[in-house]
Amino acid sequence: MSSSECTKERFLEDVKNHKIEIIRNDGLYRHIRLSKGSSTCQYDILTWPGHLCITGDCGSYLFARIEDMFEFFRNDRAIISPDYWAEKCLSESRFGEGLRKFSVDMFNRRVIEYAISDCEGKKERKKILSAIDELLHCEDEWECVSAMRDFDSEIVSFVDFWEDDCKVYTFHFIWCLYAIVFAIQKYDESLKAELVEVKR
């Protein structure tokens, strides 16, 4: 899987041929697997009272919040809530850089936003953007931190800049959140299909 940003569209492309296998379905004790018949993008969801674990080709994360964690993650529109759900993550994957990682793009956005937040008029804005130009050419976290530490200007001050760590959620964490919601939808569809079969 790529290290670029994970979108809902990208996730759905990865799982477009996935089928669900319900390995265990005993109340709050569940084990379901989603795969396309190979280990590529295959993952398992396991639940027990108060917990949900996702593990597989995408990494592993453990969440805890309410007794039935399917209820916690279940929604019809496949919307994820990374900030809130990250708070409920007990254990993050060693694979795929965990929950969050430093982003040079986020650093650049914050530098620009921070620098021009109090400026007035186009002329002042142009002067400020020129002063911070050297900060906007870093390639990694180390360079960003060094450049900010060494930055000296009479026009712009970055006194409280590091109140935000310039981190974003990792590709794998976001992928896993989409995967949980997708798995629950497939699980619900599977149970409805079984009920229809029984009624026939």
23 and 75 in a single domain? The answer is yes
Cα separation, 108 vs 111, whole angstroms:
5
Average pLDDT for residues 72-86, to the nearest whole number?
92
Per-residue pLDDT of 53-66, as tens digits, reads: 999 988 999 999 99
**Residue 146 covered by a domain:** yes
Range of the domain at 149: 102-166
Tell whether 3 is covered by a domain: no
| Together in a domain, 76 and 33 | yes
Q: Is residue 190 assigned to a domain? A: yes
pLDDT of the residue at 141: 95
Q: Is the dihedral of CA 79, 164, 93, 29 positive or negative?
A: negative
For the stretch 108-133, pLDDT in tens is: 999 999 998 877 777 888 899 999 99
Mean confidence (pLDDT) of the chain: 90
Whether residue 22 sits in one domain with residue 36: yes
Judge if 184 and 86 occupy the same domain. yes
Instruction: Dump strand ranges (E) for the chain.
Output: 19-26, 29-35, 43-48, 51-56, 61-64, 89-91, 100-102, 167-169
Instruction: Show Cβ contacts of residue 112 under 8 Å, excluding neighbours closer than 6 positions.
Output: 129, 132, 136
pLDDT at 15: 96
Share of the chain above pLDDT 70, in %: 94
Together in a domain, 12 and 67: yes
Residues 76 and 110 both lie in one domain: no
Specify the DSSP element, H or E, that contains 139.
none
Judge whether 2 lies within some domain: no
Q: For residue 97, which of 17, 172, 19, 183 has the smallest C-alpha distance?
A: 172
Q: Which amino acid is at 93?
A: S
Whether the pLDDT of residue 197 is over 60: the answer is no
Task: Give the list of residues 6+ apart from residue 83 with CB closer than 8 angstroms, or none.
Answer: none
Q: What does pTM read for this prediction?
A: 0.86
Looking at the fold, whether 32 and 123 belong to one and the same domain comes out as no
